[in-house]
Copies of this chain bind each other. A is one copy, B any other.
């Protein structure tokens, strides 16, 4: 490098971290309507930073939900165009009592920045803003054309971005879509995700009576909504952890020996995972390793179940209703709508006597997969190698970024998922954090990538 970016980023590190902390302190929880103002504030904050970085045409687009932000710097004639996608919204934070420091009071401990959104995705997205700013300040130009398209609804499955993409294909046209919203395999072991699981979700309500009832006067003689709900929910899996819904696995690809070999390369330490998470044992479908289960197999998870009395002490009530929130991660060619239909059919078929259910389908997204031999992915692996000293592995990620498949197909460009998080950074959970070693190396890797493409 003719310019010493390492020195530049070291010199500006405190300023950069303070800026990021400021952003992280805005509780931009897209799922909760009471935070709508905070989400808008986080959007405006980012637009300000994009402008400060030297980007042009910084625009905040209002949508039916939360704003979309675009910006560009298109002065590298004849060079490729890179579109940076990311999101400034964050997950809810409960259970709050499990956070060691409050989720919206960012704190650095042991080289890690703790806050909701620290790694998913404000922290990672921030790297792109500061990498571009550094290059523009140091070199007065960029070696590529760059565009940003940032949304505030990724954590609620991007309801409004698809329409914006459809209406702005030319404006957003690019040779690669770069996304930093995934993880390294482990410290010092970079990875480029070539697959994301799809998603579908639903809410289930169950009702047995028109009022809660006293267990003394009625107990033993009337249906109990919680009994019906636990019976119904327990029918969704068999004892081996396999989803027991007929048709659920339609479209799932059997793992080829080559794919199993690729997974084995990760040399994933299952014992360490158990120790780290305090697990008695791993759990899941028979015949698959942990990385195979998460990377190449679908799952159906109960995310929330509730009904009846939750307060202190006891209450001898027979609850009239119970509720469950369910999400599925999908792989290969599973059709999210077909999966939802299969679940709905299963739930109706297994509803216990005396109960009525209400099935509300929510998000839907197909799985995404890309061939790792694409030059834009190979250059990302080069960039990682130049900074981390080790070439990135091409992996399948268990998470879903529902918009990636839509971005890639609409703009007809490869999605380059170069993530700087770590798998144990508690994203979507209490004590989310971002390892600052990857904050530092992430900035350099992005600069490197923009020079290589």
Contacts and interface: CB of A to CB of B under 8 A. Distances in A.
A302 B311 contact: no
B281 A327 contact: no
A202 to B, nearest CB: 9
Given A209-B277, A220-B297, A313-B31, A227 B302 contact: yes
A312 B215 CA distance: 30
A164 interface: no
Contact of A285 (B220, B302, B315, B426): B220
Contact of A221 (B224, B294, B317): B294
Interface in A89-127: 91-92, 94-95, 98
Contact of A353 (B218, B219, B283, B354): B283
Contacts of A414: none
Interface in A136-183: 156-157, 183
Interface in A196-240: 197, 199, 201, 203, 208-224, 226-227, 229-231, 233-234, 237
B237 A227 contact: yes
A305 interface: yes
A32 interface: yes
A353 B237 CA distance: 14
B305 A306 contact: yes
A117 to B, nearest CB: 14
Interface in A5-34: 31-33
Contact of A301 (B219, B293, B322): B219
A195 B345 CA distance: 45
A325 B76 CA distance: 65
A382 to B, nearest CB: 26
A27 to B, nearest CB: 13
Interface string A300-342: 0111111111111111111100110101010000000000000
B32 A312 contact: yes
Interface stretch (A369-377, A395-403, A439-447): A395-403
Contacts of A91: 315
A251 interface: no
B279 A354 contact: yes
Interface stretch (A50-58, A405-413, A427-435): A427-435
Contact of A304 (B298, B315, B427, B430): B315
Contact of A303 (B95, B309, B354, B431): B309
A354 B283 contact: yes
A362 interface: yes
A86 to B, nearest CB: 16
A219 to B, nearest CB: 4
Given A222-B282, A302-B226, A398-B220, A429 B212 contact: yes
A346 interface: no
18 contacts: A31-B313, A31-B315, A98-B211, A199-B316, A212-B426, A220-B297, A221-B293, A231-B237, A302-B319, A303-B314, A303-B317, A303-B318, A304-B307, A304-B309, A305-B322, A306-B306, A314-B363, A316-B327
